[in-house]
A = this chain, B = another copy of it.
Amino acid sequence: MRSPLEENEYSIVGQSVPRVDAIPKVTGSARYVGDISFPRMLHGKILRSPHPHARIAHIDTTRAEILAGVKAVITGDRDTKGVRYGIFPRTRDEYALAIDRVRYIGDEVAAVAAVDEDTAERALELIEVDYEVLPPVFDPLEAIQEDAPQLHEDIPRNKSVVTALEYGDVQKAFDTSDYVREDHFDTSALTHCLPECYGAVATCDPSGYVDVWVNNQSPFIKQKTLSSTMKIPEHKIRLHRPYLGAAFGSQSEMLKAEFVAAMLSRKTNRPVRVFLSREETNAGSVRQKHAFHMDLKSGTLKDGTIKAMAFHVITDGGAYISIGAITNICGVICLLGMYPRLEAFQYHCDRVCTNKPPKGAMRGNGAQQIQWAVESQIDLIARDLGLDPIEFRIKNAARTGDVNIHKSVITSSAFSETLLAAEKASRWKKKFEKQSPYKGIGVGCGSYFHSFDYGYRTASAAIVKFNEEGRATLFSGNVDNGSGNETMLVSVAAEELGVPFADVRLVNGDTLLTPTDPGSHSMSSTTTSAMAVKSAAADARQQVFEIAAEEMEANIDDLISRDGKIYVTGSPRRGISFKHAIVAGLMKGRIVVGRGNYQPHLDPVNWYAGQITGQMVGAYSYATTIAEVEIDPDTGVIEVPSLTVAIDCGKPLNPQIVHGSVQGSTLYCLGQALYEEASFNNGQMMNPTYLDYSLPSSMEMPEIQSLIVEAEHADGPFGAKGLDAPVNAVNAAIANAVEDAVGVRIKELPITPEKVLKAFEEKKHLKSDAEVR
């Protein structure tokens, strides 16, 4: 049997095969939630709280119910089972519809199903809600005060998640450092700017089977939440996989549109479509990104060796807990995968509830914010110590085999190689601190983790069945959130089977049809789901080989397969097709069905123990980004003409998809670094539309050099790890480049022209003050 690491033997892995979703997406045949339609379908609309904080005294739906064309009106009190839900058992703080209290402007209060959207909208206006307004709190620093309004009865001082970690002797590590530096960094709340608005369609049949089409990254999680909250067995709820108009982490949790669609469908026995407006989608119905407020203290030796880091973090979580417990910890996991050889590490993070839209997972969830701070401060320390920031990072960078401070083994790292590759490609040494005024270059690094125990499902399974042509159907619970997962799963199956890419057809992300899967998040699709697929394919191939060995009168151990043909090693001209073997098997009553499981080798995280120890993740990937900026001295406007990204994603399964992901993450970060911020006035989001919310366009897209540092990860499919490390690297690279260009340091995202000009002013004052002294 061939070794998975003999690269030259691969037929598909390492090739840029066209994505399986390319033709449907380009031709418009891909069906998104917005395209799902059924005869007699009703349209649902949701009534939302106009108050940031209030008690619901009474809801009168009488007038709405009698409006012609209205088929159902539901409220939390009357129509839900009163079951609270949330990601973790201890964090269940939401109802499908608010029952007693609303906590942000937009909180879901009631819903209507009607024959068309206009009628549903009019019915919403006829619902009368008596609110007793409560004092709100918007600032997390105020919210943790003793006398602040408390959002949830069981969350004192609004600290919805408190994470406190400490490894090593922190005091001693700082005491023995040559240099200690403290900085404060901030990030802003952001909103997911999903290309499609959020929505769901539900049907309910007389046997009580509920089918739901909803944007989703993890159908099994949504199924479970719907089941427990609506008190319907999971096997009567089928989550379907529509195409996703992006997800970025927002579509793992249950959101209200699917609850409302399912409840209204159950009540009316008709299909119900709930499709949110752009304002609803952006203003909180889809979780927003946590703003982080970080005090970071680092101690190093003179040579740049980092000895200790200590974080004190306050994050603004908005009205509900959502995925907050994970957000609190992601940055630590990534950081300690990048710089594992710290002597000591301390981390305290209070996630605070405020009367603003709830915050949840958004690409780089928690990690991006922490790495923004770390990669900014490292640059400052390197400057202070007179060290080259790239050499500084290489000194501390994770190496394969390192064991980090919380006892995770770094199973594979080409982090330093990404630094060297980016340095060379960007001609860093010719540019850093050597360019004309207002032009700068900066480096920033990021890591990501792959496979992670976020509390329940870490295992995935897959099934491979053959048709009589020798072609395969692959069943996987994983979904594609746009990142190319489907193409990856098909590639891995086809490579492992030894059949052409086009000969594998995927059925995925459907809770009725596929085995369970963690979902397309926590960056585990490659290192978990694809491993299960590989295992199922190997099992199916073995069954095919058993038949082929009989047909060919050959020893099964001598067989190999490639391009749909099975032959004895070294004799590619002789051999039989998969079709031949499959039909021969069928005639003997042997029908090939392969199955495979995979569970990453992890130590479980105890989410409530206040400490994490052991193998937290399956693998770390790494990226180095080097940004070049040009700043207009008069306006403060920053342009990023070019960016160099070097990535260690393990073996690149499909280089085109890797480069595409790099481009996507770069543009995504550019927005956060320079433009984006969800702004609020008394809890009201002021910029929920694209007219107000500033996003980079293709005009702002830098020229990107994307470099793949080929590494191998023994526990990944054909050596692969995962893709998204650049997303944690870009922001600091830009801030560091700004300082290289104009000598000012911005510690708050986004780095707007106003902040740059203000920094110019402050710098002038400092200079003037110095001149005066």
Q: Which B residues lie within 8 Å of A235 (CB)?
A: 467, 469, 471, 473, 503, 505
Does A542 sit at the interface, judged by CB under 8 A? no
A591 near B516: Cβ-Cβ < 8 Å: yes
Nearest residue (CB) in B for A207 is: B23
Nearest residue (CB) in B for A465 is: B515
* A38→B78 CA distance, assembly (Å): 36
Does A597 sit at the interface, judged by CB under 8 A? yes
* A234→B590 CA distance, assembly (Å): 19
Task: Decide yes or no: A513 and B507 within 8 Å by CB, A461-B593, A590-B597, A597-B589 being known contacts.
Answer: yes
Does A205 sit at the interface, judged by CB under 8 A? yes
Tell me the A464-478 residues at the B interface (CB within 8 Å).
465, 467-469, 471, 473
Q: Which B residues lie within 8 Å of A37 (CB)?
A: 39
**B463, B465, B516, B586: which contacts A467 (Cβ < 8 A)?**
B516
Q: Which B residues lie within 8 Å of A469 (CB)?
A: 227, 233-235
Nearest 6 CB-CB pairs, A to B? A589-B599, A461-B591, A27-B206, A459-B589, A235-B471, A593-B595
B515 near A513: Cβ-Cβ < 8 Å: no
Interface-centre pick from A227, A473, A598 (highest chain B CB count, 10 A): A473
Residues of A in contact, count (CB < 8 Å): 45
Q: Which residues of A contact B (CB under 8 A)?
A: 23-24, 27, 29, 37, 39, 205-207, 220, 224, 227, 233-235, 457-461, 463, 465, 467-469, 471, 473, 503, 505, 507, 511-513, 515-516, 586, 588-591, 593, 595, 597-599
Q: Which B residues lie within 8 Å of A468 (CB)?
A: 220, 224, 234, 516
* A597→B591 CA distance, assembly (Å): 6
Nearest Cβ in chain B — how far from A230, in angstroms?
14
Q: Which B residues lie within 8 Å of A234 (CB)?
A: 467-469, 471
* A624→B635 CA distance, assembly (Å): 99
A205 near B513: Cβ-Cβ < 8 Å: no
B589 near A467: Cβ-Cβ < 8 Å: no
7 further contact pairs, Cβ within 8 A, besides A37-B39, A234-B467, A473-B512: A24-B207, A27-B205, A29-B206, A235-B467, A235-B471, A459-B588, A593-B595
Q: Which B residues lie within 8 Å of A227 (CB)?
A: 469
Nearest Cβ in chain B — how far from A465, in angstroms?
5
Nearest residue (CB) in B for A471 is: B235
Nearest residue (CB) in B for A590 is: B597
Nearest residue (CB) in B for A463 is: B593
Task: Decide yes or no: A459 and B207 within 8 Å by CB, A235-B467, A465-B515, A507-B513 being known contacts.
Answer: no
Task: Decide yes or no: A589 and B593 within 8 Å by CB, A39-B37, A206-B23, A469-B233 being known contacts.
Answer: no
Q: Which B residues lie within 8 Å of A460 (CB)?
A: 591
Q: Which B residues lie within 8 Å of A473 (CB)?
A: 235, 512-513
A591 near B515: Cβ-Cβ < 8 Å: yes
Q: Which B residues lie within 8 Å of A220 (CB)?
A: 468
Nearest Cβ in chain B — how far from A282, in angstroms?
28
Interface-centre pick from A234, A457, A471, A516 (highest chain B CB count, 10 A): A516
Nearest residue (CB) in B for A203 is: B29
* A507→B512 CA distance, assembly (Å): 8
**B512, B589, B599: which contacts A588 (Cβ < 8 A)?**
B599
Q: Which B residues lie within 8 Å of A590 (CB)?
A: 459, 597, 599
B206 near A24: Cβ-Cβ < 8 Å: yes
6 A-B pairs in the complex with CB atoms less than 8 angstroms apart: A235-B469, A459-B589, A461-B591, A468-B516, A473-B512, A507-B512
Task: Decide yes or no: A512 and B505 within 8 Å by CB, A467-B235, A468-B224, A473-B235 being known contacts.
Answer: yes
Nearest residue (CB) in B for A472 is: B235
Q: Which B residues lie within 8 Å of A593 (CB)?
A: 461, 463, 515, 595
Q: Which B residues lie within 8 Å of A459 (CB)?
A: 586, 588-591
Nearest residue (CB) in B for A233 is: B469
Task: Decide yes or no: A595 and B595 within 8 Å by CB, A459-B589, A507-B512, A512-B473 being known contacts.
Answer: yes
Nearest Cβ in chain B — how far from A271, in angstroms?
12
Q: Which B residues lie within 8 Å of A457 (CB)?
A: 586
Nearest Cβ in chain B — how far from A497, in angstroms?
13
* A457→B23 CA distance, assembly (Å): 34
Q: Which B residues lie within 8 Å of A511 (CB)?
A: 467
Nearest residue (CB) in B for A477 is: B591
Nearest residue (CB) in B for A204 is: B29
* A76→B131 CA distance, assembly (Å): 71
Nearest Cβ in chain B — how far from A182, in angstroms?
42
Q: Which B residues lie within 8 Å of A505 (CB)?
A: 235, 512
**B29, B503, B512: which contacts A205 (Cβ < 8 A)?**
B29
Q: Which B residues lie within 8 Å of A599 (CB)?
A: 588-590
Nearest Cβ in chain B — how far from A476, in angstroms?
12
Q: Which B residues lie within 8 Å of A233 (CB)?
A: 469, 471
* A513→B589 CA distance, assembly (Å): 19
* A467→B458 CA distance, assembly (Å): 15
Nearest residue (CB) in B for A599 is: B589
